Structure formats: structure tokens, C-alpha cells
Amino acid sequence: MVLVWLLAIPLVGSILALASGDRGAKFVAVGLSLVEIVAFIVLLAHGPVTLNAPWIPDWGVRFHLGADGLSMFLIGLTTVMTTMALFASSPAYPKSYFFWILFLEFGMVGVFESLDLMLFYVFWEVILIPIFFLLTGYTGSHGRATAMKWLIMNLVGSLFMLIGIIAVAVLHAQPFGTLTFEINQLTHVPMSAAVAPWIFASFFLAFAIKAPLWPFHGWMPDSYSEAPAPVTALLSGVMSKAGIYGFLRIMLPIFMPQMRHYQTGLLILAAIGLVYGAFMALRQKDMKMAAAYASLSHMGMMALGVFSLTEAGILGATFLMVAHGLIIGGLFVVLGFTEERTKTRDIAAMGGLNDDAPRLAVYFLFFALAALGLPGLPGFTGEYLIIQGLVAHDMVFAVIAGVVLVVAAWYMIRLFQGVMQSVRQGPKIFDLSAAQVGYIGTLALLVVLLGVWPAGITSHAAPTLYHAVHLLATKGGAAS
């Protein structure tokens, strides 16, 4: 039942935000998002849970929700980051903004909870709409074009995935006679060599665009830089995880033989994204763009973990999803603070901000260090596990990942130095207010907690992933 509450609270909250006045909308939205966190804590205390009810019986579509070791912490990430984004949003935004943010939370919680492909697809497309309007209505001069680009690229992926979903279900139905869209029942669909690559590609494209992985990241730079900082935090922190989550939740169980078959190609793709993102981050002049390309690079790292198809790699990717969500989300919020104060994003036009705003500089440094994978912070744990998995599979990719970690340190330190250190130019700025320290500090504490106690997640996630890795041995193992 708590699963339904987790969906209902943001949905009701979004409608309440729309019904309240323009002044009260932020208050209502923040309140409801805190209630949502309470609901998540109830879920955490309760442990793994599922809910399975008929939805459209004539088609075998079921309202099948679940939270297990893989999805539970992503739900938590969604609730925490939505609250952060709402705190960081200016109360001057019209109420429709808060409506869309909570509606986005509804969609993302739904994506992470769904265990039925059709239900998954419904939520998968539902998240397109709030982001489209968040990009189109409240941003700078290029908002409309950016939103169009975002929607078109994502829809290309998801519409073909719809064909893929129905094709899998139809293929499953033809020998056995009944339609079903449940992921755990579709794991042994017989696919002929003629159709399997196409169906595989339809799913892969959707997830790769959403993540985004190179070369499907065309929408990313514009969207991340055009969106208001809180929205960027949600996009990079939570929404992008849906892509990697799709690989873990859907592609590993259903397409393991194809994953095995294309493994080298997939690894190369992910590795190119990793390197490309890192070097693009290094040469950005705009601080938000630098963080955006850093995020692209990290997505490549997670994809490497998944595509290594080893237990350690997949576990590392799962952990890094949550850790990276908190870190990059926090980084974008801090960048938002900075931009709000300096009115610019050009690194060259800033510098020396730590004189005026030491607290801002501390949090900036903290999230930058976390993002570059400093040991003791959670990014390191995830990257360590992924590299361990890569070593077990293929040394070459492990070396590439290790080298990129060095580049990551370079681009993050460069960003920090450029913005915070050196000589101050321009007028004096204000430091963080007590309220801002309150919520960004809480987020930093969460990151520290995850860094010193990664087992809090990995011990829960490992049994769930055991299933996927078990499939690896039985299904794909023979093929390799």
C-alpha cells in the first residue's frame, strides 16, 4: 500500500499546488514532498514490497508495483532530490511550475516502481510531459527549441520501445496463448535471430537516449544549460538514472543473450562516452555546461559497469546511480546558487568568490570532490566496484576508466579554481542564507553517510541483482 501512497502523494500534491494561490504553491509543494520522504522512510522500514492487481485483464496488463533492493534507493533518491529542487526553486515561479515538478516526481517514482512493461512505459512517457513544459515555460530565450529537441529525441526512442514492448509480449503470447507484460514472465521469450536484434535495438535506443549515452546525448547540453538550476538537478540527478535503471531492470533479464552478443560494442560505446564527456567538460567555458558534460561522462561510467555483465560491475553501477544522483544534483543546486549571485555562468568572468561567500565555496568544493570520486565519498565506492567488474571482464576498459578518473579530478578542480579561487572581479556577493545551508547541508550529510556506509545500499541491492547475475550464468553464460 505504501507503494500506492508514494504515487498518490505527489499526484495529489501537484493538483493542490495548482489549486493554491501563486504565493502558496511553493509552500504546498515543499510540504507534500516532505510527506513523500516520510512515506519513503516507511517503505524503507518495511523492506521490499510488491503490489500486483489487474489493470486491463483483457490484455494481461497488470498494475504491478514493487520496491526491491534495486529500485528502493532510486525511489529514495527521487524523493530527496525533488525536495531539494523544490527548496532551491524561487517562490516567484508561477504555480504551474510546482505542479510540473511534483507531476515529474509522480512519473519518476512510477518508473522506478513498475514491474509490468506496459505500466513502465506509461510512466516512462509521463515524465516527458512535465519536463517538456518545464523547459518550454520558465527558461531563457532558447527554451522552446530546447524543449522541442528534448521531446523529439526522447520520443523517437520511447515510441520504438513501445513497438518493442508489444512485440516481446506478442512473441511470448504466440506459443502460450495469453498476453502478459510482466517483466519476470517475459524473461524466456523465444526470439528468432531475425527479430531479436530489432527488438533489442528498440529498447536500447530508448534507454541510451534517456541516460544519455554517447552518441545519443544530442538533447543533453541544451536542456541542462537552458533549464532552471533545480530542474537541471532533477534531470541529471534522477531522470537520467531511469535510462540506466531500464538496462538493469528490463534489458538484463529479457535480453541477456543479446547483451552478451553485443557486449564489446556496448562497452566501446560507453567508454567513448566516458572519455568524450570528460574531455568536453575540461574545455567548457560555461560552468553549467562543464557539470553537464561531467554528468555525461559519469553516465558512461555507469553504463560500463552494467555492460561489464559482472556482479561487481552491476552492483557498482547500481550504487553509483544513487550516489551520483545526490552528488550531481547537489552540484547543480550549488551552481544555481552561484549563478543567482553572479548573474553569469562564464567561468572566466568569475573567480575569488570564496572571499565573499566561504560557505558557498565549502559546499561547492564538497560536491566537486564528491563528483571526482574522492575516497571516503560515495562516488569512489561506485567507481571502485565498476572498475573491479571491468578488471574481471576486460583489462582494457578498466584502464580507460582509471585514466578518466584522473581527468575527472582535473576538470572538477579546474571548475572549482576558476569559480571560487584566484582574483575576485565584479561586485561583492552574498553568502548562503541559513535556510539554504539547512537543505544543502542535509544533502551533503546524506552524501557523507553513503560514503562511509555504502553497505547500507549494497547489502540490499546485492540479493536483487543476484537474480540478474544468476540469469547471466544460466542464460548468457552458455552463449559466451
Partner 1 sequence: MSATSMMMPEYLILATLLIAMLGIMVSRAHSTLPSWLGLLGSLGALWATVDIWTHHLKPEVLFNQSVSIDTYSLFVNVLVLIAAGSTILLGWQAERHHDEFPVLVLLSALGMMLLGMSANLVTLFLGIEILSLPLYILAASHRNSLGGEAGLKYLLLGAFSSGILLFGLALIYGASGSMNFTDFASAVSSHSPILGAGLVLALVGLLFKLAIVPFHMWVPDVYEGSPDSVTSFMAFGTKVGAAVILLRFLAYGFYLSPDSWGPILGYLALLTMIVGNLVALTQNDLKRLFGYSGIGHAGFLLVGVAVHSVVGARAMLFYLLPYGLAVIGAFAIITMISNGDNNVTIDDLRSLAYKKPWAAALFIVFMLSFAGIPLTGGFIGKFYLLQAALFAHQPGLAVGLVVGTFLGLGAYLRPLQAMFRRDGQDQALAGWNVNWAQIVVLVVAVVGTIGIGVYPTPVVHWVNQSANFFWLH
The residues binding partner 1 (CB under 8 A) are: 54-59, 96, 118, 121-123, 125-126, 128-129, 133, 136-137, 144, 147-148, 151-152, 155-156, 159-160, 162-163, 166-167, 170, 179, 198
What is the spatial distance between Cα 237 and Cα 449, in angstroms, rounded to a whole number? Answer: 18
The nearest distance, CB 464 to partner 1, in angstroms, is 26
Nearer Cβ to partner 1 (73/132): 132
Alpha-carbon distance values, 244 to 29, 249, 299, 426 (Å): 28, 9, 8, 42
The nearest distance, CB 171 to partner 1, in angstroms, is 9
Nearer Cβ to partner 1 (135/412): 135
Please give the single-letter amino acid code of residue 381.
T
Nearer Cβ to partner 1 (194/478): 194
Nearer Cβ to partner 1 (152/455): 152
The nearest distance, CB 96 to partner 1, in angstroms, is 7
Task: Give the position of cell 541529471.
Answer: 236
Nearer Cβ to partner 1 (162/471): 162
Nearer Cβ to partner 1 (140/463): 140
The nearest distance, CB 13 to partner 1, in angstroms, is 17
The nearest distance, CB 110 to partner 1, in angstroms, is 10
The nearest distance, CB 163 to partner 1, in angstroms, is 5
The nearest distance, CB 202 to partner 1, in angstroms, is 10
Nearer Cβ to partner 1 (110/300): 110
Task: Give the position of cell 504555480.
Answer: 95
